[in-house]
Amino acid sequence: MRRLTYERRIQLLALAAGLPGSLIALILLWNGQYSSRTAWTLTFFIVCLWVGFALSLRHRVVFSLQTLSNLLSAMREQDFSFRARDARSDDALGEVMLEVNALSETLRSQRLGALEATGLLRAVMEEIDVAIFTFDNHRQLRLVNRAGERLLSRPSERLLGFTAGELGLDACLEGETARTMELSFPGGSGRWGVRRGSFRQGGLPHDLIVLSDLSRTLRDEERQAWQRLIRVLGHELNNSLAPIQSVAQSLESGLAGTANAPELQGSAAASMMEDMRHGLGIIRSRTEALGRFMAAYARLARLPQPTLAPVNVTEWITRVAKLESRAKVKLEKGPPLVISADADQLEQLLINLVHNAVDAAHETGGGVKLTWTRYSSYLEVSVLDEGPGISNTANLFVPFFTTKQGGSGIGLVLSRQIAEAHGGTLTLQNRRDGRGCEAKLRLPI
């Protein structure tokens, strides 16, 4: 049996609603004392009104639903300019229309925001100086920005649809998600920073590849490192070679003068020998200083990787505090904690910090405090002194830079290398709660 449509059901229900009243009116009409002509005329009007109101009710309901359907269809087609007219809040259908209008306005605002965000994203992708590629689950290229086009020396129309292997990018889809690789492309070659991510589009997995050229940055860093190294080595070598050359020239002149004047040999021999002993002492002193400098540089350049083992924080810090014999270090104990680290390297690091703090406090007659605190994911060790503070913090971690008499300038640099080798950080700054400095060592737990 064929199912009745919604419109026919509404029409039948409307006819059924008017049927009892119309039937009673017709019975009373034909049982009354009316002429045949009057009865047929009134019957015609009653039936016409009954059917007319039923059809009007059907049309009204169907028209409202068709209007609502048209609004929803427009929204499905992403046309949010249509609105329902005469929508009022004092009847049920008006409330539905008001909600549909509000939904259309909300979707229009969201679509406009999405279009603007998409436009901004596309503009950023086109202007950013890194190559961006997206591949689908079949490793076919689906999106590339302008930097990627330059890298592959082809427009996007001639790139989309090609596989990663055909484009020479298959190695970027394997291995670690973030790494540095030596890659060669038609538009450039060298060392590249590769980052890989994943996302889903249309329910299917996609890969995102970001390539950034590190060659220029690495060359700049390498050039600056060589410049700093040459500047430091040149300074130290000149400090040692200049007095050696001067003393050697003086000794040579003195020996030549004594040889050319035999009458002065007897009286000047003792004086000349004294000058030679003094000059050789200067040469020995400067060569020893130069040897210490080169040994310190070798030590800084050959710091071994830490050998991790359980380290009791309380025992480690307490032991270092007791090693300082020049001044008493105030120890404020923190929570008991065991971390995984290289005990020897951490001890050397903390000895350097405490030694510097005691040197600074000795200038003003202040004290040194050593404490530690545990946070959610790291341990923080603080070394506080009451010294004069730091006037120039820019060169604290520059190798061989020192403000102390006879200092080597590698203690802080070596300490920071140890901290970073353990995945931590080391900072040194002037205290805010008083005079002096505070060294903060943070190590992961």
Domain ranges across the chain = 6-76, 128-213, 219-301, 309-444
* pLDDT of res. 55: 85
Q: What is the pLDDT of residue 116?
A: 82
Q: What pTM does this model have?
A: 0.42
pLDDT on residue 359 = 85
Cβ 36 vs Cβ 68: under 8 Å: no
Note the CATH number of domain 309-444: 3.30.565.10
CA distance 246 to 252: 10
pLDDT score, position 184 = 80
Whole-number pLDDT of residue 310: 92
What pLDDT does residue 224 have? 67
Instruction: Give the model's confidence band at 377: pLDDT under 50 very low, under 70 low, under 90 confident, else very high.
Output: confident
3-class SS of residue 159: coil
What does each C-alpha distance from 397 to 217, 411, 417, 419 come to in angstroms? 21, 9, 10, 13
pLDDT of residue 280: 67
CATH assignment, 128-213: 3.30.450.20
Q: CA-CA distance, 235 to 242, in Å (whole number)? A: 11
Instruction: List Cα–Cα distances, 391 to 383, 396, 407, 415, 416, in angstroms.
Output: 18, 10, 17, 21, 20
- CATH topology agreement for domains 128-213 and 309-444: no
More confident residue, 288 or 51: 51
pLDDT of 314-338, one tens digit each? 999 888 888 776 777 888 888 999 9
For the segment 217-221, the average pLDDT, to the nearest whole number, is 65
**What pLDDT does residue 358 have?**
87
Environment class of 58 (CB within 10 Å of its CB; exposed 0-12, middle 13-18, buried 19+): buried
Quote the pLDDT of residue 104.
Answer: 83
> Residues with Cβ < 8 Å from 398, sequence gap 6 or more?
228, 409, 413
For 43-47, 327-331, 378-382, which range has the lowest pLDDT when averaged over its residues?
A: 327-331
Tracing tokens 């330059």 back to the chain, one arrives at 150
Asked if residue 84 lies in contact with residue 67, where contact means CB atoms within 8 angstroms, the answer is yes
- Which of these ranges, 27-41, 167-181, 201-215, 407-421, has the smallest mean pLDDT? 407-421
Percent of the chain with pLDDT over 90: 6
Q: How confident is the model at residue 312 (pLDDT cuts 50, 70, 90)?
A: very high
- Dist. CA 411–CA 319, nearest whole Å: 19
Region 400-408: mean pLDDT is 51
Higher pLDDT, 246 or 18: 18
Residue 215 pLDDT exceeds 80: no
pLDDT for 399 beyond 60: no
Q: Which two tokens stand for residue 323?
A: 């090693």
SS3 assignment, position 193: strand
**Lookup: tokens for 11:** 């029409």
268-294 pLDDT, tens per residue? Answer: 566 666 666 676 666 666 666 666 656
What is residue 16's predicted lDDT score, i.e. its pLDDT? 85
The stretch 39-66 carries a mean pLDDT of: 85
Task: Tell which wins on pLDDT, 264 or 131.
Answer: 131
At residue 49, does pLDDT exceed 80? yes
Residue 18 has pLDDT above 70, yes or no: yes
* DSSP characters over 270-308: HHHHHHHHHHHHHHHHHHHHHHHHHHHHHHHHTPPPP--
What phi and psi values does residue 144 have, to the nearest 5 degrees?
A: -150, 140
